[in-house]
Each structure stands twice: as structure tokens, then as C-alpha cells.
Amino acid sequence: MFTGQYIYCGKKAALQIGNVLPVGVMPEGAIVCNLEEKAGDRGALARTSGNYATVISHNPETNKSRVKLPSGAKKLIPSTNRAMVGIIAGGGRIDKPMLKAGRAYHKYKKKRNCWPKVRGVAMNPVEHPHGGGNHQHIGKASTVRRDASAGRKVGLIAARRTGRIRGGKTEIKGDD
């Protein structure tokens, strides 16, 4: 898109970048963004920088379309839901390292209060179950049971297994 570009909306709009049209009239394989999750919510899916969704298929009987979201999940949405043709600008934003604490500070200040994260072993015993001691160590097993009290439930909660994953999954090769 560029400054001064005309944007057309509706089912008769051309399939050009920036135009908004219902998912049902788009061809399969179309790259879209700012996709409506529910009819008329003005766009909720595939909106962050560099992201896009792909129209996979249409089902005229049920009036639904299948789209592939940026997460890789496939979602069934009504074919009347609108979407913008194209990809959101600013791809590769997360490839660049933040480098400074100040940039992280400003990033999370806009989002929510989740930075900086202080480790439990760096705290005092009154503040965290992993706190205290003469060295920064947990001092007991980091797995906790599912029915532990709310203040104790830190670390690996009800872990089925811990440690390195060894062996991995083996692929069975067919005789092609």
C-alpha cells in the first residue's frame, strides 16, 4: 500500500493489495490479513507485523471457509467475514535483538507489567519458595505436586517427567 492509494471494499472489489472483501469470494490460496473472526468485528486475526493468513478452501453448502492462521492452526470461519488482501508491513521485527534494557523497558511498559523478571533463587525466603540460603540454589526438588497450595506452586508443576529429552522420535521410512 502507498499514500494516496484508493481502497475498495465489498464483494465486487478487485483482488488487489489493500482491498477488503469477503473471504468467500477470494480464491483459494489468497494471502490475507486483518481477518474477521466473527462477522462484523472489523478484523481480529493476522494483524501483527509481517503476519498473514491463507485462504485454504470454501464450503458453499455451509457457507464457511477454512483459513490457515499465522500460528499454523486452521480455522473455520463464515465466508461472509471480511479480510484485507496482502501482508502486514514490518516483517522481521523480532529478528533484531533488543540489546539494551531500556528498549525492553519501553516495550513491556506499553504491553503489561511483566518485566524485569526476578529469579526466585535471588529472593528472600519470605518472598519465594526458592529464596534464601547461602548460595543461589533451589535447595529441594523443583517439581511440585498438583494440589500444592497457591504460594508453593512454583517450578515444574505436576511434571510427568523432567530432564533432557533423550532418544527423540524415530521416523519410520516406508518403501517408496
pTM: 0.73
Surface-to-core class of residue 83, CB atoms within 10 Å of its CB (0-12 exposed, 13-18 middle, 19+ buried): buried
Q: For residues 28 and 16, what is the distance between their CA atoms, to the nearest angstrom?
A: 15
How many alpha carbons fall within 13 Å on the CB side of residue 28? Answer: 7
Bridge partners (DSSP) listed for residue 156: 143
User: Quick one: which of 82, 75, 90 has its CA closest to 24?
Assistant: 82
C-alpha to C-alpha distance for 108 and 9, rounded to whole angstroms: 35
pLDDT per residue over 22-51, tens digit each? 999 999 999 999 999 999 999 999 999 999
Residue 15, number of CB atoms within 10 A of its CB: 11
For the chain, residues with pLDDT lower than 70 are: 171-176
Q: Which pLDDT score is estimated for 174?
A: 64
